[in-house]
Every structure is written in structure tokens, then in C-alpha cells.
Structure 1
Amino acid sequence: MANGLDENSHLPASLRVITLNCWGLKFLSKHRHARLTEIGHQLATASPAPSIVALQECWTQQDYLTIRKLTQTVLPHGKFYFSGVLGGGLAILSKWPIEESSMYRYPLNGRPAAFFRGDWYVGKGVACARIRLGDGASADQVVEVFCTHLHAPYEQDDSYLCHRTAQAWEIARLMRLAAERGHMVLGLGDFNMVPLSLGHRLVEAHSPVRDVWRILKPDSALGSARHAAEKARGRPVPSARECLVEHGATCDGKLNTWKWSKQLRKELDRGRESEVDPDAPDEGARRLDYVFSYDGGGGKGDRWRVESAEVGMLMRHPTLKCSLSDHFSVEATLVRASGQKTASSSPSPPMTSPLPSSTYDEVLALISLYEQRERKQQRVQLTHFWAQTAISIGCFIAVWWSPANYVAFILMLLSTIGFGAGILNGLMGFLFVESELKALKEFEYDIRTARLRAKDGAGSS
């Protein structure tokens, strides 16, 4: 034994971690297969070589297998995760074998009525993988990886904020349980939230993980220059280069060709590139993609410390000249601390750090507002079901007195189509909304419990 570590366990001196939203929507994402093939090539030739890679919006097995084939020498192990009707779009690649994996589907996850958005159908959740870095049996040789893609905002008023907040709570719970097992934890993915937003605060308060970018750059931006929290800081609009280097902006920036105007993208398709001044102000760039980490030794760098974090995958496709995705990657290097402790010698760290009661009140208000919205939606759906049932019965009765066959046909057609739509709304009203409201009640209970603990902690101090 040396420094509490078995010399034969061959633990790596560093970990290179990458997370990337690939934008691999089948039939919808332009140049999908060509771009994801190039992403695989870039991962395979990256220096330093990646140790663990988390991919989001890698929807098809064809794209996943292409990336696996290209990265076989540096990332020989991987898992494509299945979820929902259309798949979760999540994948994890690793330098070391995946000992155990699971797919946890979020209880609150979109609405089937919003079929044009698809979040409910893809079954968004958390792809979980347990990876052993060494060949020993101790807890300090295990890293648990959690890859996710939280619900997108879509609308101006962001009616899905409740979903995303509940999802942040769920992944925080999973990461906390992994930390309680004494394992290193990595939370990777497109969280669709800006730094220090409600979901971000819940993740860091109710699990011991920390946002690696803010570890190194605690004064980085809290959103785009247009975001209210960032405006309140009264800072000048950062340049496109600063958004990448200082603030970790992974999407919606000027340097990503998929955020260019339609005319500029048409010009690019014709082979005419446009120059973007990296020193020009960039109001839209923001950070939605994260690497959260917990070192497994109390969160104080006893086992691993964050050495670097940067935005990656900035290169263009060699022939198409477009960006490889509508997101850039987040890439972090963690190095093994020299004074590493064993799991048994490390004191048990607190897994949570309660937020102010006002924060939990904010979540409870959000839950209440969303519950009212869903109950109203349920009433509309069930009213439509019962009304359409009555109309369909009326149409069948009217057929008896139909003056002509074509009138009877029209009545039967209207009855069939209308009743079909009514049944769909009835199923959503009776089944889906009820299950969603029950999941919401569970989330509300958790938040109320957390609020009580926070209040008791404040009182005892």
C-alpha cells in the first residue's frame, strides 16, 4: 500500500471527460449522419484522449455504432440507452468497462398532447453507468456516470420549468446516492438551464457535486447577456471569444453556424463561408451544458481535483463547413490528488446543503401553478371526451333518419373521426394527467420535506 492506495490497482493519473449534445434528430437535423461521423472522428483523434464521453441527442443506433467504430481504440466500451417510444438519445463511451448500467426515466417529462415536441415520446431520463477505473475492489476505484438531457423550454413563458426543476431534483437524488456509496460522481449533459438558476441550485444543494466550470471560473456569466440575472450584474456584453473562454457558452452563440441567419446558412450550403469576428459582442451565447463532479473523498479534492475545463468541438465539418452540432462540447480534465485517501479513512461528508426556505417556496409556487394548469387542461380534455361521445351517439341516431346514403356516410365519418379524437383526449385526461399529478404530488412532498429541514437547520443554528 502507498498513500492508502493499492499499487497494483493501476488507477489513472487523470480523467478527460467530454459531454456533447450531438443534435442527431432523425429526418430533422441537417447533415445528421455526416456530422455525427465527424464527431466520432474528432473524439478518436482528440489530444488529450477522452476517458469518458457522454452524448445527448444521439438518436439512432446507426450514428451510435458509427461513433463506436471510429472511437474503438480510445473508447472501447460503450452503452446506447433505450427509453420511451422514440429512444432517449443518450449514450456513454468509456475507456474502461461499464460494470453496470441502467436507464432511469423521469416521472415528469413532457405531455403526449405536445406530439410536435416529442419529449414525452423519447422518454427523457438519466443514463447511468458504473465504471471501475482500477482492478481492485475498493469504492475509490469506481466512478458513477450520469448522462441526461433535461426538458427544453420551448415557449417564452417556459411552462416546462416545473418539469425541468423536477428532473434536476431527480438527477440530484441519483448522484447523492452514488456519493453515499463512496464513489466518484460525474453528472454530464445538456441541462437546459443557466448557471445558478433554480435547477442548478437544486443540483448543487441536494447532491455533493459541483459545476466544474464555476469551480475554476466562479465569476463567469449567469446566462446570455440578455438574461435578467446577467443584466442585473451591469457588465458589458462579452465578445464571442469571451463567451467561449471565460463563460463556457455552449450554444446560441455567433460562432456556431447553426445559429446563423437563414440567408447565411444558404450561402454556406453553396460553399460561400462567412467570417465571424470573434471579438464582436455576442448577446445570445449561453451555457446549458455541464460537467458536474464529486471526487468521492468529501468534495475537497482528496481524491480528484479539477485541473481544466473548456468549450470544445469548435471545428467545422471539413467538407460541409458547418458546425458539428448546434451545441459545443464541455471538456474537463480531473487529476488524481497526490495525497489521496482511502474510502475508509475519509470522513463521511454531508451530502446536502439546504437552500434558503424562500427557494423551496419558489419551487412550491411553481408546482402549484403547474398543477392548476394541468387540472384545467384535464377538464378540457375530459369535457371534449364526453361531448364527443354524445355527438357520436347523436350521429348514429341521425343515420336512421338520413334522407340519403351520402348523408349517412358523412355522419358516420364525422362520428368516427370525432370519437377517435375524443378517445385520445379521454385517455390523456383519465390516465396521463392523473399519473402526472401523482408524480407532481411526490415532488411536492420532497420539496416540503426539504423546506422543513432547511427551516429546522436555520432554527438550530
Structure 2
Amino acid sequence: MANEVSASILTLNCWGIPYVSKNRITRMSAIAEKCASREYDIICLQEVWSVEDFKVIKAKVQEILPYSHYFYSGVVGSGVCILSRYPIYDVMFHKWPLNGYVHKIHHGDWFGGKGVGLCKIKILNMNINVYTAHLHAEYNRENDEYMAHRVLQAFDTAQFVRMTSGGADAVILAGDLNTEPQDLAYRIIRGVGGLMDACPSSASHIGTNECANNSYTCSKFARTRPDGKRIDHILYLGSKSVKVEITNFQHPLPNRVPYKDFSYSDHEAVMATLKFTNGEHDISDNLDVTDSLKEAIEICETALKSVQRQRFWYLLSACILVVPLIWSIGSLWNSVEKNALKAGCSAMEVYIKRLTNDLH
């Protein structure tokens, strides 16, 4: 294996909802130009909801990043894709059991069939697992009805990374994780997955969404929290044979698309250059995984009680409206959510037992 190899990783939520996202076509063209700038070796994009937009970007970067994969899923596609300078020799997509609610059409997460995508990439003679994900959005922090969904998506993602990374020389997880560093979902992804954050402490306060310098940020957020929220991340992990170091970290895109008065997206792009060298990787921060998982189980158990109440209201609505279909659809979804919550709780309990046994 080569003594030293570097790769620049870019991640961006493109905000590419057809007929909804402002200036989408112009922005996608500008994003494609940036992706083709020869500055990046691997690019992870989220919210590329139109396959035509993906084709535009792919055609533009073909000479620079000849390898790519779009992860199809759900009704409208997962929205996530990976572009690479280096060969992609294997791919896999893991769809999360919980993806929001089918009746919350205005949120739309369920229709995307969201999950975590994996591309196994060969950089010279080194095997790199590159994962990209877009967790469920937090629409209301004070009353977060999707907390259990996002927490289980985080645990599911960390488990998927852990269980598919055997034999990999290094791991990279990049995407819009919709969770800030102090949040439970972030702690679970890093703690269970053993992943390290590419963002240095000196830049940890700089956000990637709802930033004051972004043209799509409403004035309310710009005034109250000008730095925005840091919810887009590049996380990484080395191996027993490969050490990973961060040599560069930045938000690489200008505040505005050239000659326009709007930004590239409502999110900021994140770029990190990773240096891979021979040698065992550093140990990740010793995050308290057990306490985080116990907190997650409590959230899921509370959600389970809510599911039971919702089942009653589905039945009541069906009786009042005399439309059996309403009850059957609601009941079916209710069962899906209940089983997903139970599966998540039991998997986290197994993980806690393993940690406890390892300590003894």
C-alpha cells in the first residue's frame, strides 16, 4: 500500500425539490460547475430529488469524476448520490424502517424512501467505504414529532456502518444528518459507529443551515442565530492498518452563485481533505454510548405509547366517516411504525448488553 494518499471530500444538501425549491435549475447547473472544478475527489450530494438533475451533474463532471451512483428508493428516489474520481466497485442501499409519515405530504420524507447509501471505492490499492445519508428533518425543535424516527435512523446508520466496514481500510460518512453535535442522534452515530468528526473545534460553531449569510435563510433565524446550525457532517474512521488525519476543512462555496443574488442551496457545502497513511488509527472520543442508547430507548418507548393512542383515533375516524379504507391504511402504517420502534429498541438493548459484557 502507498505510504500516503490524500482525498478531498465534499458534501452538500442541494435542496432540489422540483416545483418547490427556488431557482433549482440555475442552482443545479452552478453546483455541477463546482463539482467539475477538479477540487474534489469524492462528492456526496443529498436532496437531488430529480433524476434529471443527477444526469445534468453527472454529464458535467464526467471527465473529472467518471464514477458515480444514484441510490433509487421509495416513491421519488432517496435523493442521495455519490460522485468519485476513483473506481466504485460495489454499492448497497439500506432503507430505514422509519421514514416519517405517509399522511404528512407537506414534509415528504416518507416518499423518498430514505436510508444510507454505500459505495466501496478503490483509491490506488486502498479500500474506502463511503457512506452518504440524509436523516429525517427536525421541523419543530420544541415539539419534535420525529425524534424517535431520527434517533432510530441514527442508530440504524451507525450499525450499518459498523457491520459493513469489515475489511475496509477507512470509512467516510458524509451528508445532511439533521442533527447538531449536542443532539442525541449525533452522539449515537459517532458513539456506536466509532466515528470521528472532521470539523476542528475552532470551526465547530459555524453552521451549515439557517446561516445569516445564506440568501434563503429567513430573517428570524438570521437575527437569533447568525452562525446557523451545524447539521451537515463529514465523519471518518481509520483501521488497524490505516491512520486518517484531517489536513483541510472548510465551507468551500461562495455565498452566492456567480452573477446571481441567491446561494447555491439553503445549506452550506462542507469539504474536508483526509490524509491516509500506514499505521493504526487514533481512538475516537470516548463518548458515553450506553447513556445515549438508554435515552433513545426511553424516547422510543414514549413513541410506542403514542402509536397506541393514534391507532384508536384511526379507528374512531373510520367509524365517524364510514370509510374503512382510512382505518385500514392508518392501521397498516401504525403497525409498521410500532414494529420499527420495537425493532430499534431491542437492537439497542442488545448493543448495551454487549457493552456491559465487554466491561466485565
What's the TM-score once normalised by structure 1's chain length? 0.72
Q: Which is further off, 111-120 or 11-20?
A: 11-20
SS in 2 for 1:432: helix
Counterpart-to-counterpart distance in 2, 1:350 and 1:282:
33
1:150 aligns with 2:150: no
Query: Could you list the per-position Cα deviations for residues 401-451 of structure 1 after superposition, in whole angstroms to 9, with x for gaps in the alignment?
Result: xxxxxxxxxxxxxxxxxx3xx41342221x111121111111111222233
What is the deviation of 1:296?
2.6
What is the deviation of 1:350?
8.9
**Pair 1:191–1:180, CA change in 2 (3 A):** same
What is the deviation of 1:283?
4.2
Larger Rg: 1
Counterpart-to-counterpart distance in 1, 2:316 and 2:153:
30
1:160 aligns with 2:142: no
Look up the match of 1:288. 231
Match 2:213 to one of 241, 255, 269:
255
Look up the match of 2:347. 446
Whether the aligned pair in 2 keeps the contact of 1:206 and 1:353 (CA below 8 Å) is: no
Q: Match of 1:133, as an amino acid?
A: I
Look up the match of 1:375. 308
Query: Could you list the per-position Cα deviations for residues 201-236 of structure 1 after superposition, in whole angstroms to 9, with x for gaps in the alignment?
Result: 1111111221111xx32xx5xxxxxxxxxxxxxxxx
Counterpart-to-counterpart distance in 2, 1:203 and 1:181:
20
Task: Please show how residues 23-42 of structure 1 align to structure 2 within 5 Å.
Answer: 23-42=15-34
Counterpart-to-counterpart distance in 2, 1:255 and 1:117:
25
1:179 aligns with 2:169: no
Counterpart-to-counterpart distance in 2, 1:356 and 1:103:
25
SS in 2 for 1:86: coil
1:307 aligns with 2:299: no
What is the deviation of 1:387?
3.9
Match 2:86 to one of 73, 86, 96:
96
Q: Match of 2:254, as an amino acid?
A: L
Q: Match of 2:339, as an amino acid?
A: K
1:427 aligns with 2:329: yes
Counterpart-to-counterpart distance in 1, 2:327 and 2:30:
43
What is the deviation of 1:369?
1.1
Q: Which runs of 5+ in 2 are unaligned?
A: none
Task: Please show how residues 5-404 of structure 1 align to structure 2 within 5 Å.
Answer: 5=1, 13-45=5-37, 49-134=39-124, 136=125, 141-155=126-140, 156-213=142-199, 216-217=200-201, 245=203, 247-261=205-219, 282-283=225-226, 285-297=228-240, 302-337=242-277, 340-341=278-279, 355=288, 357-389=290-322
Counterpart-to-counterpart distance in 2, 1:41 and 1:191:
25
Q: Match of 2:133, as an amino acid?
A: T
Q: Which has the higher helix share?
A: 1
SS in 2 for 1:435: helix
Q: Match of 2:325, as an amino acid?
A: I
What is the deviation of 1:12?
7.1
What is the deviation of 1:287?
0.3
What is the deviation of 1:457?
5.0
Instruction: Give the number of equivalent residue pairs.
Output: 358
Whether the aligned pair in 2 keeps the contact of 1:249 and 1:311 (CA below 8 Å) is: no
What's the TM-score once normalised by structure 2's chain length? 0.92
**Pair 1:12–1:131, CA change in 2 (3 A):** farther
**Pair 1:24–1:12, CA change in 2 (3 A):** farther
Identity percentage of aligned residues: 26
Counterpart-to-counterpart distance in 2, 1:352 and 1:286:
22
Q: Which has the higher strand share?
A: 2
Counterpart-to-counterpart distance in 1, 2:250 and 2:329:
47
1:437 aligns with 2:330: no
**Pair 1:142–1:153, CA change in 2 (3 A):** same
Counterpart-to-counterpart distance in 1, 2:204 and 2:321:
57
Counterpart-to-counterpart distance in 2, 1:24 and 1:45:
21
Counterpart-to-counterpart distance in 2, 1:375 and 1:350:
42
**Pair 1:66–1:357, CA change in 2 (3 A):** closer
Counterpart-to-counterpart distance in 2, 1:168 and 1:246:
20
Whether the aligned pair in 2 keeps the contact of 1:305 and 1:336 (CA below 8 Å) is: yes
Whether the aligned pair in 2 keeps the contact of 1:179 and 1:351 (CA below 8 Å) is: no
Counterpart-to-counterpart distance in 2, 1:388 and 1:281:
45
Q: Which runs of 5+ in 1 are unaligned?
A: 221-244, 263-275, 390-418
Whether the aligned pair in 1 keeps the contact of 2:187 and 2:289 (CA below 8 Å) is: no
Whether the aligned pair in 2 keeps the contact of 1:23 and 1:57 (CA below 8 Å) is: yes
